[in-house]
Amino acid sequence: MIGKRIQQLRKEKGITLTELAERAGVAKSYISKLERDIQKNPSIQFVEKIASVLNVPMESLIDQEDRVPMEDPDIDQEWYQIIKEAMTSGVDKQQFREFLEFNKWKTKNRSSDD
């Protein structure tokens, strides 16, 4: 869980929740919710800000279990690039899911119109 990882690194570095929020320019309440596992899908920009303050690579904050192995032979490398582009452009998981649902709806309705 990303929140627990942030909390662990923050405490290891002796940084308070307030200090982390101020230095990263993000809401203290949002970090608190992440650390308590109430909030679960931070944006890529948020993760970048936190990683910068904690002085760690962004990838170290992302759960190992949430990652798709890059060497997975069943997944086309172009898909990895598309996902990476979506993440770096600020699309979060919920927005991506909403897009997929909309696309399914659109495809279904197009089929029924024929």
- Give the Å distances, CA to CA, from 83 to 39, 42, 70, 89: 21, 15, 12, 10
Query: How far is residue 57's CA from residue 51's CA, in Å, rounded to a whole number?
Result: 6
Please give the domain boundaries of the chain with CATH numbers for all domains: 2-61 (1.10.260.40), 77-113 (no CATH)
Per-residue pLDDT of the chain in tens (114 residues, 90 and over written 9): 789 899 999 999 999 999 999 999 999 999 999 999 898 888 888 999 999 999 988 888 875 544 445 555 666 778 777 877 877 777 777 888 888 899 899 888 886 665
Predicted TM-score (pTM) of the model is 0.56
